[in-house]
Amino acid sequence: MDAEKLLSSVSDTSDETEFYTPMPAGYKPGQCRYVVVFGTVMSGLGKGIFSSSLAKVLQDKGLTVAPIKLEGYLNRDSGTLNPFRHGEVYVLDDGMECDMDLGTYERMLNQDLNRLNFCTSGQIFTRVLEKERRGGYLGRDVQMIPHVTGEVKSRLRELAVATGADVVFVEIGGTVGDVENAYFIEAIRQLAFEEGPQSVCNVALTYIIEPAMLGEQKSKPAQLNLRTLMAAGIHPHIIACRARHPATNKVREKIAMYSNVPMERVFSMHDCDSVYVIAEMLRGAGIDSAVLDILGLADRADVEREDRERTVWNDYIARFRQAALPVTIGIIGKYTSLRDSYASIIQAIEHAGVHYGARVELKWIDSSSLTEKDVAERLKGLHGVIVPGGFGIRGVEGKLACIRFARENRIPYLGLCYGFQIAVIEYARNVCGLAGANTTEIEQDAAYPVIDVLPEQKRIEGLGGNMRLGGQDVLLAPGSLVAKMYGDVERIRLRFRHRYEVDPQFIDTLTDGGLRFSGRSPNHPIMQVLELSPADHPFFVGTQAHPELTSRPLDAEPMFAAFVHATLVQSGVRDPQPTGVLPRGKPATENHQNERAST
For 21-65, how does the pLDDT look when each residue is reduced to its tens digit (9 = 90+)? 888 998 999 889 999 999 998 877 789 999 999 999 999 999 999
Q: What is the pLDDT of residues 367-394, one digit of tens each?
A: 888 899 999 999 999 999 999 988 777 8
Contact call for residues 453 and 499 (beta carbons, < 8 A): yes
Q: Is residue 278 part of a domain?
A: yes
* Cα separation, 430 vs 424, whole angstroms: 10
Domain termination site, one of 293, 315, 337: 315
What is the predicted pLDDT for the residue at 11? 47
Residue 564 has pLDDT above 90, yes or no: yes
Q: What angle do CA 335, 416, 356 make, to 5 degrees?
A: 100
Q: What angle do CA 208, 214, 220 make, to 5 degrees?
A: 35
The CATH number of whichever domain residue 389 belongs to comes to 3.40.50.880
Domain termination site, one of 315, 348, 378: 315
Q: Is residue 135 part of a domain?
A: yes
- Do 192 and 78 reside in the same domain of the chain? yes
- Do 442 and 566 reside in the same domain of the chain? yes
* Cα separation, 250 vs 255, whole angstroms: 9
The average pLDDT across 99-113 equals 95
Q: Is residue 1 part of a domain?
A: no
Q: Is residue 572 part of a domain?
A: yes
The average pLDDT across 84-104 equals 90
What is the predicted pLDDT for the residue at 264? 92
Q: Is residue 14 part of a domain?
A: no
What is the predicted pLDDT for the residue at 66? 98
Domain extent for 509:
323-598
What is the predicted pLDDT for the residue at 457? 54
Q: Is residue 23 part of a domain?
A: no
Distances (CA, A) of 265 to 52, 200, 285, 470, 575: 18, 16, 8, 40, 48
- Do 126 and 145 reside in the same domain of the chain? yes
Domain termination site, one of 280, 315, 350: 315
- Do 88 and 234 reside in the same domain of the chain? yes
What is the predicted pLDDT for the residue at 466? 64
Number of domains in the chain: 2
355 annotated active-site: no
* Cα separation, 417 vs 404, whole angstroms: 17
Contact call for residues 332 and 365 (beta carbons, < 8 A): yes
Phi, psi of 283 (to 5 degrees): -60, -45
Q: Is residue 246 part of a domain?
A: yes
Please report which confidence band the pLDDT of residue 432 belongs to, taking 50, 70 and 90 as the band edges. Answer: very high
Catalytic residue among 548, 557, 590, 592: 548
- Do 274 and 391 reside in the same domain of the chain? no
417 annotated active-site: yes
pTM for the model: 0.90
- Do 260 and 341 reside in the same domain of the chain? no
- Do 184 and 265 reside in the same domain of the chain? yes
- Do 527 and 395 reside in the same domain of the chain? yes
Q: What is the 3-state secondary structure (H, E, C) of 69-88?
A: EEECCCCCCCCCCCHHHHCC
- Reported for 284-290, long-range contacts at CB under 8 A and 24+ positions apart, including other chains, are 287/54, 287/57, 287/238, 288/54, 288/57, 288/58, 288/61, 290/237, 290/238, 290/264, 290/265
- Do 461 and 563 reside in the same domain of the chain? yes
Catalytic residue among 355, 546, 565, 592: 546
CB atoms within 10 A of CB 522: 12
* Cα separation, 292 vs 524, whole angstroms: 50
CB atoms within 10 A of CB 577: 11
The average pLDDT across 156-175 equals 96
16 annotated active-site: no
- Do 397 and 286 reside in the same domain of the chain? no
Q: Is 270 helix (H, G, I), strand (E, B) or coil?
A: strand
Q: Is residue 521 part of a domain?
A: yes
- Do 209 and 275 reside in the same domain of the chain? yes
**Any idea how long the chain is?**
599
- Do 365 and 253 reside in the same domain of the chain? no
The CATH number of whichever domain residue 277 belongs to comes to 3.40.50.300
* Cα separation, 471 vs 492, whole angstroms: 10
